[in-house]
Structure 1
Amino acid sequence: MSPWRRRLCIPLLPNWRTRHLMFNSFVILALLFLMVIVLNNRWIPNHIMYKEIMEMDSAYSFQLKESETVKVLQKLVVSGRVNQTENQKLLAIRASKRNTSNRAAHHVGYYSYLINEPNKCQRTSPFLILLIAVEPQQLNAREAIRQTWGKEDLFLEIQVIRLFLLGREAKLTTNNKQAIVNESIQHHDIIQQDFLDTYNNLTIKTLMGMHWIATFCPNVSYVMKTDSDMFVNTEYLIKKLLKPVAPKTKYFTGYLMKGYAPNRNKDSKWYMSQELYPGDMYPPFCSGTGYVFSGDLAEKIFKMSLSTQRLHLEDVFIGICLANLGVNPVSPPKVSDFNIWRVSYSDCVYNQLVTSHEFQPSELVKYWNQLQKNKNLCVIHPK
């Protein structure tokens, strides 16, 4: 082969300047590629998980509960997008991002609404909201309250709103779930979030009510939190306790409990461990069977709860939040207004009290109807 043909057939090798230029170009392209990946880091498995979880949190307005996060993680692990080590790291990232601590681990904001009534205060601001803690299966109790002291049309000149506070049952069947939904559609008086409805979660249930008021009805004048087995003389509460005086702020009253020490007996229903509450005495608080407070305190209590060690004893916990706010619960006008036990029934006695405890639904209807018939026969003595 002739020399010219050999020169044309053999590829020319780049000289050192050409090689240096090619190497620098490659490095620059590689760096640009990495920058694109970092800036649009959906290609990074950890970021995929982190971003998807945070997007879900935003969709729930930070009501994404931990079990849903775990489900998302599991799906990504199965799909190969993250491994088990990354799974644990991402859970830690999420916990860090949301500043989760032991005392906020069961914060009410972590739970999504199963049933909500956001438009209850859309037309006007009510004078009184009744927050009634009740278990999901207690249909008879809810019906009895609707027929008696919880009637929303009991007063023509004053607006009263009734709200039942529910968590979810441990063994929730499709029929039970649908029954509560149907009940809600009929009465529009149920608020339910996706936490387990147990005695130890009463604090969460009460804070759910506080948060609802702060969010959907901040201009309410007064709020009463009570239980489903209570007899409440709503008329006496409004006409003799609340209405005669000018609207109050930072007002909290009920059956006042002062000088109570934590119960250290592990067998007690009200046991409080030294670790959870190391103090020797509780601050003054009102029994959770029934207390009344001015509407402005709902948001204040809820916000204070975010930085207060969570306790399972709801009334004690609310008392601690009040103490941290510098709000002192006060005694009602009469000591006999609020009762943590069952008061022996008589028309004239029940015509001059706010609460009595431990009523079955059938008893509630019976004595309420009797009081409505005979209350005008009793004279309410001046305070």
Structure 2
Amino acid sequence: MVHSAVLKFDRRKSLRETWANPRLLQNHPAWIVFLVGKTKSSTSQKALEIESETFSDVVQGDFIDDYHNLTHKGIHGYRWIVKYCEKVQFILKIDDDVFVNIFLVIRELLPKYQEGQRLIVCRFITEADIDRYGKYAVDPDYFPGYKRSPLQCCMGAFVLMLSNIVLEMYETAKNIPFYWIDDFYYLAFFQIN
């Protein structure tokens, strides 16, 4: 599950030519999809539709594709997985600007974990500084009086999960307030519940 932006056609092309190439993965139980949102440009939408018809790997959600909607993109991806990927054991959430040795993940990492375990593999951040200004500003209503987050955060560039966690995260997301920073939202609020 690759988080991408509508206009990042070149990044998706690059990934399809490298680690996300379907021909390279044909002997492995792996399927790559690119998650995107809506675009306001009819030209970009048409190009995306052509790309989707050509590669059958684009999943478009019903939200404007914007940096502040990454949480919506993730929830849409989890909803799609719950609906269409019932038999999938592992889910890898990755950003479109990350390259991964997918064969190492398949060969070395996945066999270490078994179905039924509660598993999230990512770069955990504990007691991260809370930025109140700038691109990643956390609203003062969240953790008032704190300078560092009391909850763990999972950096979202590479997150490996067992499918049971995805279902839990999707169900939990229905009952917690929206927060636009997806790395923080998925795991920090999941810890609360």
Opposite residue 135 of structure 1, the aligned amino acid is A
Q: 1:176 deviation in Å?
A: 2.1
Distance 1:260 1:176, change over 3 A: same
Correspondence 1:164 to 2:7: no
Q: Distance in 1 between matches of 2:54 and 2:188?
A: 38
SS of 2:33's partner is: strand
Quick one: distance in 1 between partners of 2:35 and 2:111? Answer: 26
- Aligned residues of 2:92 and 2:159 also touching (Cα < 8 A): yes
- The answer for unaligned runs of 5 or more in structure 1 is 1-130, 326-383
AA aligned opposite 1:134: S
Distance across 1 between alignment mates of 2:75 and 2:158: 15
Contact 1:218 1:296 in 2 (8 A): no
Matches within 5 A, 1:71-150: 131-150=1-20
The 1:219–1:282 alpha-carbon spacing in structure 2 relative to 1, beyond 3 Å, is farther
Query: Which has the bigger relative contact order, CA under 8 A and spacing at least 6?
Result: 2
Unaligned runs of 5+ in 2: none
Please report the TM-score for the alignment, with normalisation by the length of structure 1. 0.47
Change (3 A) 1:209 1:273: same
CA contact under 8 A between 2:2 and 2:34: conserved in structure 1? yes
2:48 to 167, 177, 180: 180
Identity %: 23
Of 171, 182, 190, 1:303 maps to: 171
Distance 1:208 1:282, change over 3 A: farther
Q: 1:205 aligns with which of 58, 69, 73?
A: 73
Shift of 1:194: 2.6
2:21 maps to what in 1? Answer: 151
Match of 1:238 among 101, 106, 125: 106
Q: Tell me how far apart the structure 2 counterparts of residues 155 and 207 of structure 1 sit (CA, whole Å).
A: 26
8 Å Cα contact 2:35-2:77 kept in structure 1 = yes
Higher helix share: 1
1:189 and 2:57 aligned: yes
Q: Report the CA distance shift for 1:274/1:162 in structure 2 as closer, same or farther (over 3 A).
A: same
Give 1:245 deviation, angstroms: 4.0
Q: Deviations over 1:103-156 (max 9, x none)?
A: xxxxxxxxxxxxxxxxxxxxxxxxxxxx11111111111111111111234345
Are the equivalent residues in 2 in contact too, given 1:249–1:295 (CA < 8 A)?
Answer: no
One-letter amino acid matched to 1:275: D
CA RMSD of aligned residues (A): 1.7
| 8 A contact 1:210–1:302 mirrored in 2 | yes
| 1:309 Cα deviation after fit | 2.0
AA aligned opposite 1:145: L
Distance 1:156 1:196 in 2: 33
Does the 8 Å contact 1:219/1:296 carry over to 2? no
Match of 1:18 in 2: none
Q: For this pair of structures, how many residues does the alignment match?
A: 191
